[in-house]
Amino acid sequence: MEGESSAWLAGGPGGADRLARLIPVALRALASGVAERGGPIPSGGPAAVAALATLAAAGDPGAAGDDPPGPRLGGAVDAGSGEDAPPGPGSGIAGQPGADSGPAERAAGSAGHPRPVDKRGSVAGFGRENGTLVPGGARGRQSGRDATDRADPAVECEFAGAPVAPDGSGAAMPASGLPSPRPESSAPATGAGLPLRGVGAERALEELSTLLAAGAADPADPACAAHLHCPPLAVAVAADVVASALNPSVDSWDQAPVAGELERQFTAGIARLCYPSAERPDAVVTSGGTESNLLGLLLARERSGTAIRPVCGENSHHSVARAAWLLGLPAPVVVACADDRMLPAALADALTALDGPAVVVATAGTTNTGRIDPLPEIAEICRRAGARLHVDAAYGGLALCSPALSGRVAGLELADSVALDLHKFGWQPVAAGLFATREAADLGALTVRAEYLNADDDTEAGLPDVLGRSLRTSRRPDAFRMAVTVRALGVRGLGALVEHCCATASAVHELVTGHPALRSWGPPELSTVVFRPREADELPGPAGDELVARVRRTLLEEGTAVIGRGLLPTGPDGSPQRWLKLTLLHPHATVAEYRPILDAVAAAAANSVAVRESPVAS
Ligand SMILES: Cc1ncc(COP(=O)(O)O)c(C=O)c1O
C-alpha cells in the first residue's frame, strides 16, 4: 500500500513512477552538463573545478532573495514537494517547454548549448570564458555574488559542519575570475555539503547532476584516453538503475534471492570462459583488479602458508605489492622484463633462487603498455618449480570473447587464478571485477559464518550460503548489469567491441609512426598506444621527461585531452624514461578522432620548447 512512508522510495508501490519522474530530470541535467563542458574534461585544472563546485551553490539563486516557487536551499522541504512537481513547463531545464530563455540565459550561454536554469529562470549552469569553464559564464558569477550578498546568514550557512558566516567579500570569487580552491574562511563547499534542510529531489538532482556532468572527465569523449577507464554502455547503466532501486545485497540469500542466483549463473559462465576444460572452475565478483589480485595472493597463502613468496614482473600493477603487504607476506621478488613483458629465463632463475613456496603473478595487459606476458612459458616454469600462478588479466582478459584475439591470451587457462575487469574492456560502470579459479575448492578459504547471515541450520535447510563468495559483506549486485550486458550483446558482441579498440589502436599507432613530431614506443598488443614528442628526445638530462609531463598537464588544463603517462626503461642503460599513452577503450571512436590529439601533443611540445627557450620566459 502506498502511503506517506514510501513517498521518497525508489522501490515499492509507486517507486517506478517516482523514478520515471526523476530520471528525466537527472538525464536532462546530464545532457546539459555534458554540453556545457564541450570537451573531455573541464579546463582550468583543479582550482577552476573546485571553484566551480563551490560557486555553483554559492551562486544558487534560490538560496535567498525572492521566494522561488520551488523549495529553497535554506527553507524546509516537505518530503515529496520537490519530486511531486512534474517536470515540464517551469521545470527549470533550458530547452524544455516552459524554461526561461531570457536575457540572463542568453548572456551566460555559449551559443547553441542548452543550459539549465532554476525555477525562476536564472542560470544554474556554467560557461566558458577565455577557454576556461566558469560557473554560469559572466552572468553566473554575477548571480553568485548577488546571492551571497542577499543571503540570510542564519539560513545560508546552516551547515552540519562548523557554521561559517558568509562574509560577502567575494573571497570565493575574486575579481580575477578564478576563485581560490580553498577559501581563506575554510567555509565548507556548498555544492555537495551537508545542508540541514533540503531543496527537494528535482532541484538537487538537476543542480548536482549538471555540475557532475559539466565537471566530469568523460570517458565517452575519445580524447579522454589516459586510463583503463571505460565509457559504460547504456544498457549496463539502465540495468544498474533497476539494481539500485531494488538494492539487493548479495551477502545473504534472504536479501537477494534472484540476484544471488543470477550472480551464480553469471560467474559460472565467467569461470568456464577462463577455464574451458577445467573440471570444477569457479568465479566470484570483486570490486576490481586490486581486490582480485589480493584474492589471488590470499588463496595462495591459504594453500601454502605465510612463508609463500610472491614473485611478479617489473611490469606488474602496484596492487600486487600492496596485496603482499596487506597479507603480511614478504615484498614480491621482482623479475626483469623486456619490451614490458616478463622474461621467462629471469623468472626461472628467480624461482630457482627461492627455497620456499612461491606464487607468481603474471600480467595479461600491462597498465603502461597493454603487453601480455608469455603465459604458456611462464605456466610451464611455474609447473616445474611447483609455484602457484595468478594472472592479472584485468585489462586483457576480455580478449577471450573474441576468436580473433583470444590467442593473445593463450595460456590463461593454465593459471591457478585469474583477475578480470569488466570496467575496462567490458564497458561496465565501476565496479565490475571478477576473480576466477581453476579449482572451486580454493574459494573455500573465504568461508565464514555469521549467525545473522548464514547460520548453519539455514544452510542445512537449503538456503544458499553466499557470504563466503566475497571478502566484503554488504555488496551490490554488480553481476546483474554484467549479465544484462552479455545477454544484450552476447560474448561475441563484447568481443567485437574489444576488436574495435585493438584495431583502432593499431591504426593510431600507424599515425604516430608517420607523425614527424612523435616517436612510437612500439606497436600495441591490445589497445594502448605509447609515444613521446621527439622534442623530448632532443633535450638534455631530465628536461625531456619534464617536457613530456608538461605536455600532458597542458592538455589537461586546457581541457583538450586527458592522456596518460608512464615510465619505461628506454633511457641510457635501461634507465626509466617518461612516455605518453592513449588507452583506447572507446568502443565506437574512429582513428580520425585521435589524430587531433596527436597534433595537440605535438603543438604543446613545440610550444613548451619555444616558451622554455624564450628569454622572456626565464
Ligand atoms: C593490470 C592491472 N591490474 C589491476 C588494476 C587495478 O584494477 P582496479 O582499478 O579495477 O582495482 C589495473 C588498473 O588499471 C591494471 O591496469
Q: pLDDT tens across 502-542, in order?
A: 999 999 999 999 999 999 999 999 999 999 999 999 998 89
**What residue spans define the domains of the chain?**
10-216, 249-482, 492-613
pLDDT-based confidence at residue 611 (cuts at 50, 70, 90): confident
Q: What is the pLDDT of residue 265?
A: 98
Residue 182: pLDDT above 50? Answer: no
CA 290 / ligand 1 centre spacing (Å): 6
Using the atom order of ligand 1, give the atom closest to the CA of residue 289: 7
Using the atom order of ligand 1, give the atom closest to the CA of residue 366: 1
- List the one residue out of 132, 145, 121 whose CA is nearest residue 36: 132
Residue nearest to atom 5 of ligand 1 (CA): 289
Residue 371: pLDDT above 90? Answer: yes
CA 295 / ligand 1 centre spacing (Å): 14
Residue nearest to atom 15 of ligand 1 (CA): 367
For ligand 1, residues with CB inside 6 Å are 228, 288-290, 317, 319, 363, 365-367, 392, 394-395, 421, 433
Q: What is the pLDDT of residue 61?
A: 43
Residue 455: pLDDT above 70? Answer: yes
Q: With contact defined as beta carbons under 8 Å apart, do 585 and 495 qualify?
A: no
Q: What is the CA radius of gyration of the chain?
A: 27
DSSP string, 349-409: HHHHH--S-EEEEEEBS-TTT--B--HHHHHHHHHHHT-EEEEEETTGGGGGG-TTTGGGG
Residues 255-308 have pLDDT tens digits of 999 999 999 999 999 999 999 999 999 999 999 999 999 999 999 999 999 999
Residue nearest to atom 12 of ligand 1 (CA): 289
Residue nearest to atom 16 of ligand 1 (CA): 367
Q: Does domain 492-613 have CATH number 2.60.40.1180?
A: no
pLDDT-based confidence at residue 192 (cuts at 50, 70, 90): confident
- List the one residue out of 137, 108, 131 whose CA is nearest residue 121: 108
Q: Please, what CATH class does the domain formed by 249-482 belong to?
A: alpha beta
Residues 68-82 have pLDDT tens digits of 333 222 222 333 333
pLDDT-based confidence at residue 319 (cuts at 50, 70, 90): very high
- Where do runs of H (alpha helix) occur along 11-118? 15-37, 45-58, 81-84, 103-108
Residue 195, helix vs strand vs coil = strand
Residue 137: pLDDT above 70? Answer: no
Top-confidence range, 82-91, 106-115, 548-557:
548-557
Strand order in the sheet with 528-533: 518-520, 528-533, 577-583, 564-568
Q: Is 586 left (phi over 0), alpha (psi -120 to 50) or beta?
A: beta
Residue 81 CB partners (closer than 8 Å, separation 6+): 70, 71, 200
Using the atom order of ligand 1, give the atom closest to the CA of residue 365: 1
In angstroms, the CA 597 to CA 381 distance is: 42
Produce one character per residue of 284-322: b if its CB has 16 or more CB atoms within 10 Å, e if not: bbbbbbbbbbbbbbbbbbbebeeebbbbbbbbbbebbbe
Q: Which residues, in sequence order, are bridge partners of residue 10?
A: none
CA 393 / ligand 1 centre spacing (Å): 9
Mean pLDDT score of the chain: 82
Using the atom order of ligand 1, give the atom closest to the CA of residue 316: 1
Residue 129: pLDDT above 90? Answer: no
Q: What is the pLDDT of residue 111?
A: 29
Q: Ligand 1 pocket check: which of 229, 322, 395 to mutate, most ligand atoms within 8 Å of Cβ?
A: 395
Q: What is the pLDDT of residue 610?
A: 81
Q: Ligand 1 pocket check: which of 227, 285, 290, 322 to mutate, most ligand atoms within 8 Å of Cβ?
A: 290
Residue 533, helix vs strand vs coil = strand
Residue 564, helix vs strand vs coil = strand
Residues 550-590 have pLDDT tens digits of 999 999 999 999 999 999 999 999 999 999 999 999 999 99
Q: Give the position of cell 551562486.
A: 59
Q: Do domains 249-482 and 492-613 have the same CATH topology?
A: no
pTM of the model: 0.82
